[in-house]
Chains A and B, each alone.
Chain A
């Protein structure tokens, strides 16, 4: 087991090297005049460093003045030590900005993750138990609609109904206008209130696949021999479903969910941007739009790490949860 995990981790590290190499290569595709122009504009901002300082910092950070391979190792060497340079747009160290925004994204993702599990798994099991019934059809169609919904369209509809027509929520932002006057508890609820709509959007658009996954797996389990045996023994239907079937359905589900755990930190670029939640997604959206290379490089590396981590966790969980699965 240890050997397996170690091997996977090493492979992931190797993959990460290649992924970051590609990301670095893409960034190097940007015309140099673009970088210079950006640096020039940056230096015009009030309180910013001078053009020369920006350019020198960039060269030092990314090895822009050297070849692409050497430049990559310059950058990677610093990145390994956690030095990602200063964000152009935010005018502060990338890691500092990252630390200040990531928890918004995490809270948002965690909320929708819980909502998703609470709705999708029972619904999927219900659909599987009553296969071809009306409720099965309704759940299947709803799941497919959820999968097919463009998140920006759904978010706009929610905003239109709940923020504009009903006026229950604010259109944008994470805090209300009176946020500063509120007590700490009030501030918490103020922020929670602003998270409601984005959480619903995130949950609804991702609920469908988990629901269908649950249903498919539950059907497979319900059609298996040991369930027939359990029924033949004369166990009550609830025991059959809740004890024998449900636990076995959980194996693939936990594997899947475990794989998505790192994704909780990845931020939801579209949804956060639409609701202007200052999480990692919205922040990096702004950075991309402003051509903030240091932050975007960091964000892409971060996402790549999360993806690799997700795969790793899924693989390991698969082996851990199901003893039948041989490590190799």
Chain B
């Protein structure tokens, strides 16, 4: 009721009754009524928040690489049967340089006494089929030893060495000629490897000698360096040596087992397991690791070369990880967080859009304004210039410039600046044409005649009276141009010519689909970036559309 009475008192043109809106307010009001335009504004605001604020909130940077652990079959050790003779020299003995090759020759030809390069005579005393004791020959002994019991026993046992009165004698029999030599022990020659229980274990010569002799004689124990050891034969040519307390002390086998991983010591127990597995033709076996846990190993064989593999956790780049709590959109090929890259890429895409459009507008207003205002030959020349720039094919030009930049190895930031400059230098012509067209028609209107009559300077006439009247169209064009620029930047980056690694851009993120495996299996890599581009460009178009309607209600979109 109160309202009605108040209204009655009002004058017809009272300001409370007729709300007079300024032209700007009218535009704003019309703009706000446009649902699509509002949706566009909301999207753009969200994009800015996402790119600029989101980038700050996101714990990861755009170039942080993430790693993951992966169970991988990795080579652990290799095993080969020992086919070469190993020589374990006695303490303080230096063997002649060619002793090794001569030994092999002697063992195969069974000429157990031989001469080395430096003139010394060596002899091999046979212990078993593949084990010998090397003697340095001191001289010949008399043939009368042939009658001794020791010789008879050794000859009967198929050996070529015997001990008599604490002295070692070698004999050779060739063409019925029996020669005896006296010798001093120098080394043990065998095809066995010795593994101590710990990495530090050193074996004395005495230990080698006695262990080999004991193995050859199938004895269950031996004494070396005043300690007693027990031998447990395992299979044909492997044995575990235990010390007096019954603990594993050493492992002897004819397999050479080496770790391929640096700094890993293979224990006798492990080697024992390997040899057992090889003998049983198993492909898998378990052995205790140093913490006493059972671990499974895989055994494979190729040409007598055994490889022992095991599953091992390795640190690998976490590429194409699916979206998870840690990485909401997953990771890309380089193991970088995609969400972070989308945010930083958004910064670059939006910034490039605004920078390029700003340069375009400035260039376009200057050239278009001058051309439109002066007309005549100035207009003609400038517009032909605009035509020329318009004719330059943009994408091939970008590509050529891109490869030139590649050639000079321009940095990622340098490329961004370059891209901005090139895009704006090629893109301003549209704005110049619009400005010129508008000014040509405005120039003929009465207010310009009035302006001319008041005698204002030319610069003021152009920039104070003409340009402001062009601004509505300019704003519309620039808003839509923002979308176009973002789109072409994305296209260039997609082609690998725009923004380059390590800098991110939405286009370069989608670039991953050039690998069709990625396209098929890692949809999360390229879909979000594509949707972001689409939404941003769409939003700019919505806003531009809404602005056009708002500025020019007659056209009604």
Contact = CB atoms under 8 A, between A and B. Distances in A.
B36 interface: yes
A79 interface: no
Contact of A289 (B384, B388, B399, B507): B399
Contact of A144 (B392, B396, B541): B541
B388 A19 contact: yes
A288 B519 contact: no
A289 B403 CA distance: 7
A91 interface: no
B520 A156 contact: no
Contacts of B537: 147-148, 150
A144 to B, nearest CB: 5
Nearest to A270: B491
B510 A153 contact: yes
Interface in B340-395: 384, 387-388, 390-393, 395
B536 to A, nearest CB: 8
A13 B520 CA distance: 49
Contact of A147 (B407, B541, B555): B541
A307 B396 CA distance: 14
B391 A304 contact: yes
Contacts of A215: 557
Interface stretch (B222-230, B466-474, B526-534): B526-534
Contact of B391 (A140, A156, A159, A307): A307
Main secondary structure of the interface of A (DSSP, over half): helix
Interface in A65-109: none
Contacts of A30: 400, 404, 407
B516 A171 contact: yes
Contact of B396 (A14, A291, A303): A303
B538 A145 contact: yes
B397 interface: yes
A157 B530 contact: yes
Interface string B479-512: 0000100010011001100000000000100100
B520 to A, nearest CB: 5
B545 interface: yes
B36 A141 contact: yes
A164 B520 contact: yes
A148 B519 contact: no
A134 to B, nearest CB: 13
B393 A304 contact: yes
Contacts of A289: 399, 403
Contact of B538 (A26, A144, A273): A144
A27 B528 CA distance: 37
A29 B556 CA distance: 48
Nearest to A208: B541
Contacts of B555: 216, 219
Interface in A168-184: 171
Contacts of A160: 519-520, 523
Nearest to A18: B388
B50 interface: no
6 contacts: A11-B384, A31-B408, A131-B556, A150-B490, A153-B510, A307-B393
Given A140-B36, A147-B537, 20 more contacts: A34-B407, A140-B545, A148-B483, A150-B533, A150-B534, A152-B510, A156-B510, A159-B519, A160-B519, A160-B523, A215-B557, A216-B557, A219-B555, A269-B396, A288-B400, A296-B396, A300-B396, A303-B393, A303-B396, A311-B387
Interface of A: 11, 14-16, 18-19, 22-23, 26-27, 29-31, 34, 131, 137, 140-141, 144-145, 147-153, 156-157, 159-160, 164, 171, 215-216, 219, 269-270, 273, 284-285, 288-289, 291, 296, 299-300, 303-304, 307-308, 311
